[in-house]
């Protein structure tokens, strides 16, 4: 079986091994692939392993030998699944591999804003503690999470994990979800407006769909507390960046922690980058070593299952 990994650098730049996949067949690994290279690289492949490379209908038509597409991610909007199904090409993804890592990043942004570790570490490095007349000082107010309200929109695996951590911090958890799903900790399911109005910290853990695009906009921000903080580790287009930037500049809300943007990389810039009350990280919530190790392992399991005639994590 011929396996081609089209954009390996999206998963590892050398710190992890692809051995779980290369052991399954004749494997060719490309760190990156431009769209114009895809057909030539996959023309003899049985299995395509992709992350961000688009496999459109026009491309799939030219790949008569292709039998399986493995998406090294949970989302698969880069694959034309309908076209794959028409041509009898199976598609599998990797669900829930990064749940704990993404939830961790949610609180990394929250603690960055509330405990001000980076700000005070920089102050100490600049000599301010050595020159202080007091044995301790704070550059800006510090905030305790216990007793605060965590609002979560969307309650899949990541929403559940965020709720569990918030509960451990002693926070009240409000959730807006299409259905009241089982939770391992006490949460209150309520309408979206209530979550927006009551949350001290608002976390977006909902899938990107036409109805959730710009879920956070001027109208929704107007419902939020002035002291509230928005966290988006989901998808960039869930947030109207211009509306959020205007609110942050005007101190309409206190802050934001953003791991995803509407355009990635932000070639044309983003109004959120550089704002003093907005921390932006480069879409790395999923990218812990442990998470990426699971990603490769489950991708290999998907291929091995296909070889054995077993459906595993199949979309098509």
Q: Of residues 109, 120, 235, 294, which has the active-site annotation?
A: 235
- C-alpha dihedral, 293 to 295 to 301 to 305, nearest 10°: 180
Taking the C-alpha atoms of residue 221 and residue 219, their distance in angstroms, rounded to an integer, is: 5
Catalytic-residue membership of 292:
no
Active-site hit among 193, 264, 290, 311: 264
Give the integer Cα–Cα distance in Å for 297 and 11. 12
Q: Are 19 and 299 in contact (CB under 8 A)?
A: no
Distance, in Å, from the CA atom of 290 to the CA atom of 110, rounded to the nearest integer, reads 22
Query: Which tokens belong to 231?
Result: 């966290």
- The Cα 78–Cα 59 span in angstroms is 12
Give the H or E element holding residue 280.
Answer: strand 278-280
Strands 172-176 and 68-71: unpaired
214 φ/ψ sector (left φ>0, alpha ψ -120 to 50, else beta): left
| Dist CA 34 CA 116 (whole Å) | 41
Q: How many CB atoms lie within 10 A of CB 235?
A: 22
- Cis-peptide into 265, omega within 30 deg: yes
Q: In the β-sheet with 47-50, what is the strand arrangement from edge to edge?
A: 26-29, 2-5, 47-50, 68-71, 90-92
The residue assigned the tokens 């988006």 is 232
Between the CA of residue 145 and those of 5, 159, 265, 268, 306, what are the distances in Å?
43, 18, 32, 36, 46
Residue 218 designated active-site: no
User: Is 283 marked active-site?
Assistant: yes
Supply the residues annotated as catalytic: 235, 264, 283
């Amino acid at each position: 079986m011929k396996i081609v990994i089209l954009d390996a650098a999206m998963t590892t730049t050398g710190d992890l091994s692809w051995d779980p996949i290369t052991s399954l067949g004749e494997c060719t690994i490309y760190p990156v692939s431009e769209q114009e290279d895809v057909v030539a690289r996959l023309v003899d492949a049985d299995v395509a392993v992709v992350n961000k490379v688009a496999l459109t209908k026009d491309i799939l038509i030219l790949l008569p030998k292709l039998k399986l597409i493995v998406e090294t991610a949970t989302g698969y909007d880069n694959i034309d699944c309908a076209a794959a199904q028409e041509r009898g090409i199976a598609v599998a993804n990797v669900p829930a591999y990064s749940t704990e890592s993404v939830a961790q990043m949610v609180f990394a942004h929250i603690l960055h804003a509330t405990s001000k570790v980076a700000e005070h570490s920089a102050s100490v490095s600049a000599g301010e503690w050595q020159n202080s007349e007091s044995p301790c000082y704070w550059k800006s107010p510090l905030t305790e999470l216990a007793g605060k309200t965590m609002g979560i929109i969307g309650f899949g695996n990541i929403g559940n994990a965020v709720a569990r951590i918030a509960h451990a911090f002693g926070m009240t958890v409000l959730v807006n979800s299409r259905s009241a799903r089982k939770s391992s900790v006490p949460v209150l399911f309520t309408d979206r407006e209530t979550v927006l109005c009551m949350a001290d910290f608002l976390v977006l853990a909902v899938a990107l769909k036409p109805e959730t695009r710009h879920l956070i906009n001027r109208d929704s921000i107007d419902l939020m507390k002035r002291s509230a903080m928005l966290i988006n580790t989901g998808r960039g287009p869930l947030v109207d960046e211009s509306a959020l930037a205007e609110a942050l500049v005007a101190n309409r809300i206190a802050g934001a922690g953003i791991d995803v943007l509407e355009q990635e990389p932000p070639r044309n810039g983003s109004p959120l980058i550089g704002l003093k009350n907005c921390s932006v990280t480069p879409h790395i919530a999923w990218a812990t070593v442990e998470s990426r190790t699971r990603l490769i392992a489950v991708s290999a399991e998907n291929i091995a299952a296909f070889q054995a005639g077993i459906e595993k994590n199949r979309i098509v």
